[in-house]
Amino acid sequence: MPEVSGEFVSRMEDVLEVYAQPYNPKCPTVCVDEKPVQLIRETRTPIPAQPAQAEQAGQLERYDYEYHREGTANLFGIFEPHLGQREIRVTAQRTKADFAHILKHLVDVRYPDADRITLVCDNLNTHHAGGLYDVFEPAEARRIARKIDFHYTPKHASWLNMIEIEFSVLQRQCLDRRISNVKRLTAVTASWTAQRNQDADTVHWHFGCVEARHKLAHLYPFNLP
């Protein structure tokens, strides 16, 4: 249970108000977060799936219970809920420098024509504009920082970031298998992303400040009647 405090509900309501804003191509709302992925290599070749034939039932693909760990990779998820568009970028790690390059990618590649980008993320110590100054020269760091409005979810409230819903779908539909290397991980996540973007799959968010003040009244320091 999150700690009850004015800071918690203030951040929660700030994010909920962001989600309630209408679509504005000059100020897109974007949700960003990271997800670690364990890379696993098979020690034996899996037995392929077999289709049903005549009176014989089909057979699902079978894996040996043994496997070999190949380290980890990191996924940066970028999700624009209004348009149902997302991007998954695979990195070796999730450092302050990696996040700084994600911010530059948002400003220069994904939304070069935007006046501002409304960014929803958690309050991890790497999720701040300060990291830009550790990676880029000051004028460049400031140029990127000036185009981004940060909105942070409260601690222990990752459910408020819509990219977490996307990660859940990604886990069920794409990562529920053994993936041994970054090249393969990049390929399968790119295929999954392309299909969901083509279908414009999105999150239909119906939880706002009014609902929060009633359904989550126990989180508010001032008890509502």
Q: What is the pLDDT of residues 34-44, one digit of tens each?
A: 999 999 865 55
Q: What is the DSSP string of the chain?
A: -PPP-HHHHHHHHHHHHHHHSPP-TTS-EEEEEEEEEEEEEESSPPBPPB--BTTBPPB--B--S-EEEEEEEEEEEEEETTTTEEEEEEES---HHHHHHHHHHIIIII-TT-S-EEEEE---TT-STHHHHHHS-HHHHHHHHTTEEEEEPPTT-GGGSTHHHHHHHHHHHTSSS---SHHHHHHHHHHHHHHHHHHT--------HHHHHHHTGGG-SS---
Does residue 220 have a pLDDT over 90?
A: no
Average pLDDT over residues 204-212: 94
Specify the pTM: 0.84
- Domain harbouring 31, CATH code: 3.30.420.10
- Which residues, listed in sequence order, are joined to residue 40 by a DSSP beta bridge? 69
171: containing domain = 6-43+65-216
Using an 8 Å Cβ cutoff, are 4 and 220 in contact? yes
Residue 56 lies in a domain: no
> In angstroms, what CA-CA distances link 207 with 29, 147, 169?
16, 27, 20
Residue 153 lies in a domain: yes
Residue 121 lies in a domain: yes
Residue 144 lies in a domain: yes
Average pLDDT over residues 127-138: 95
Residue 100 lies in a domain: yes
Taking each helix axis from N to C terminus, what angle separates 138-145 and 96-105, rounded to the nearest 10 degrees?
A: 60
Confidence of residue 141 (pLDDT cuts 50, 70, 90): very high
Report the domain count for the chain.
Answer: 1
Average pLDDT over residues 166-172: 96
Confidence of residue 47 (pLDDT cuts 50, 70, 90): low
Does residue 74 have a pLDDT over 60?
A: yes
Residue 224 lies in a domain: no
Average pLDDT over residues 40-69: 62
Residue 209 lies in a domain: yes
What pLDDT is recorded for position 1? 45
Q: What would the pLDDT profile of 88-101 be if each residue is shown by its tens digit?
A: 999 988 899 999 99
Q: How many angstroms separate the CA atoms of 1 and 30, rounded?
A: 27
Residue 54 lies in a domain: no
